[in-house]
């Protein structure tokens, strides 16, 4: 097994229903409260307890994994299972590993089969063009989970969110659907419609709900970085939009910085709306274009204390002296939150928009020789002031809800307009 040596701050989830499995097609009813706390817990109790995220007080079997259970089960099936041709040990092992890892109840930890790992690796590059809805998905137990919703795409405009569970695609259950099967069914020619049945897990004071949404596919281009020069009267404001913090993002950002440096800028707007994060070290590099050299951008803590680390700005000095506003929304997460917090805590940047996602953990990936991999949580991260944004998110200095109707009418981005106003206030 080879470790990729890549530390990742991957997009996370907003809700506490991390271990929920939806057996929508089977018609199972959702249990109510946790199982009774008794000394004896049956196998069915254990199954239901994991499946619905409930717990029992029964003692664990221990921390040592008993491989003989697998061997005994496999031997039994090889000897007595009626449809022997259905025994596919590779597929069965992948399935077992998925459920084994999922039992941790951590939405950021998952076993990735070959198809999922290939797709995930491509996504981490930070640039993609396709015809579809603009969302990253992954198999999650008996459903397809939305991992990422890209800004200004059909999925974004339809109001989909990370951790939404797709339980049907065009009225076909996703229970037995692989990630690649779901991708093939959701993508399609521009102008055609796909109908998704969504289960949105519960949030604070909001119960879970199931709803259908019709989404018109279109050509989706997801550049990780775009830039522009905006004007307010005689003032010039540099604008950088970073949608994904992937492998190629820093190189793309350097090109945008070079172009903007040709202008006599008065201020900067860094747009991190819809940015779900990804690579932690790339996030630190992005912050380094704004934060003075040597300043702490993020602190990480791991289960083994000796690996705790402080990431400091490399101090590129491009924009550190310019008044800066950072745009965020409810999809801004992980490394996106790291950047926003660092710019506010160190550069006194003003954050405009809505409360961010709230993801304070760190993941890494280990690849197996077979092409599969495991993505798992290894630690937590903290802002320069020592805060962990898990579930809390960052609260903007200036809260402005996005006006979707106004944007659809004449492409007016009311949050961006407010950000420009805040830059002018910083200049005065």
Put residue 388 in one of left, alpha, beta given phi > 0 → left and psi -120 to 50 → alpha.
beta
* Residue 247, phi then psi, degrees to nearest 5: -60, -35
Q: Which position has the token pair 């550049």? A: 223
**Catalytic (active site) residue 78:** no
CB 292 within 8 A of CB 324: no
CB 244 within 8 A of CB 272: no
Write the burial class of residue 133 (CB in 10 Å: 0-12 exposed, 13-18 middle, 19+ buried).
buried
Out of 227, 243, 334, 361, pick the active-site residue.
Answer: 334
Q: How far apart are CA 295 and CA 236, in angstroms?
A: 28
Going by C-beta distance under 8 Å and a sequence separation of 6 or more, which residues neighbour residue 77? 87
Put residue 97 in one of left, alpha, beta given phi > 0 → left and psi -120 to 50 → alpha.
alpha
Measured at the CA of 184, the angle between CA 180 and CA 190, to 5 degrees, comes to 145
Out of 359, 361, 372, 375, pick the active-site residue.
Answer: 359
Out of 94, 142, 164, 345, pick the active-site residue.
Answer: 345
In this structure, how many other beta carbons lie within 10 angstroms of the beta carbon of residue 299?
17
Going by C-beta distance under 8 Å and a sequence separation of 6 or more, which residues neighbour residue 226? 240, 241, 243, 256
What order of strands is seen across the sheet that includes strand 398-399?
225-232, 235-242, 267-271, 324-328, 350-353, 398-399
- Provide the token pair at 213: 């949404």
Q: Tell me how many helices (H) and strands (E) the chain has.
A: 11, 21
Q: How far apart are CA 418 and CA 65, in angstroms?
A: 56
**Catalytic (active site) residue 264:** no
**Catalytic (active site) residue 224:** no
Q: How far apart are CA 286 and CA 160, in angstroms?
A: 27
Query: How do beta strands 209-216 and 193-200 pair?
Result: antiparallel
In this structure, how many other beta carbons lie within 10 angstroms of the beta carbon of residue 16?
15
- Give the residue numbers annotated as catalytic, written as ranges: 334, 345, 359
């Amino acid at each position: 097994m080879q470790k990729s040596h890549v530390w990742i701050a991957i997009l996370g989830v907003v809700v506490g229903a991390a271990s929920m499995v939806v057996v929508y097609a089977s018609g199972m009813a959702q249990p109510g409260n946790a199982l009774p706390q008794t000394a004896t817990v049956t196998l069915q109790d254990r199954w239901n307890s994991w499946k619905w995220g409930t717990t029992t007080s029964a003692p664990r079997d221990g921390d040592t994994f008993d491989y003989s259970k697998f061997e005994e089960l496999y031997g039994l099936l090889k000897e007595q299972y009626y449809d022997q041709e259905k025994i596919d040990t590779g597929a069965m092992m992948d399935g077992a590993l998925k459920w084994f890892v999922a039992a941790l109840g951590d939405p950021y930890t998952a076993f990735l089969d070959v198809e999922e790992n290939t797709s995930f690796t491509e996504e981490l590059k930070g640039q993609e063009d396709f015809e579809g809805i603009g969302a990253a998905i992954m198999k999650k137990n008996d459903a397809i989970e939305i991992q990422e919703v890209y800004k200004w795409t059909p999925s974004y405009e339809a109001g989909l969110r990370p951790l939404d569970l797709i339980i049907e695609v065009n009225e076909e259950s996703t229970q037995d659907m692989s990630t690649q099967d779901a991708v093939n069914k959701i993508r399609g020619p521009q102008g055609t419609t796909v109908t998704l049945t969504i289960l949105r897990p519960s949030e604070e004071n909001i119960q879970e709900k199931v709803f259908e949404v019709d989404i018109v596919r279109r050509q989706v281009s997801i550049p990780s970085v775009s830039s522009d020069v905006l004007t307010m009267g005689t003032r010039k404001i540099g604008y950088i939009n970073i949608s994904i913090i992937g492998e190629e993002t820093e190189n793309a950002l350097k090109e945008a910085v070079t172009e903007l440096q040709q202008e006599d800028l008065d201020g900067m707007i860094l747009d991190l709306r819809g940015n779900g994060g990804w690579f932690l070290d790339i996030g630190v590099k992005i912050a380094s274009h704004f934060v003075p050299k040597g300043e702490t951008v993020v602190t990480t803590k791991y289960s083994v204390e000796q690996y705790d680390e402080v990431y400091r700005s490399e101090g590129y000095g491009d924009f550190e002296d310019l008044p800066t506003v950072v745009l965020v929304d409810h999809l801004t997460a992980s490394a996106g939150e790291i950047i926003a917090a660092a710019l506010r805590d160190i550069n006194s940047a003003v954050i405009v928009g809505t409360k961010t996602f709230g993801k304070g953990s760190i993941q890494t990936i280990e690849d197996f020789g077979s092409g599969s991999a495991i993505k798992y949580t290894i630690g937590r991260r903290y802002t320069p002031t020592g805060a962990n944004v898990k579930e809390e998110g960052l609260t903007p200095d200036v809260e402005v809800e996005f006006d979707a109707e106004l944007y659809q009418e004449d492409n007016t981005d009311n949050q961006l307009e407010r950000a420009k106003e805040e830059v002018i206030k910083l200049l005065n």
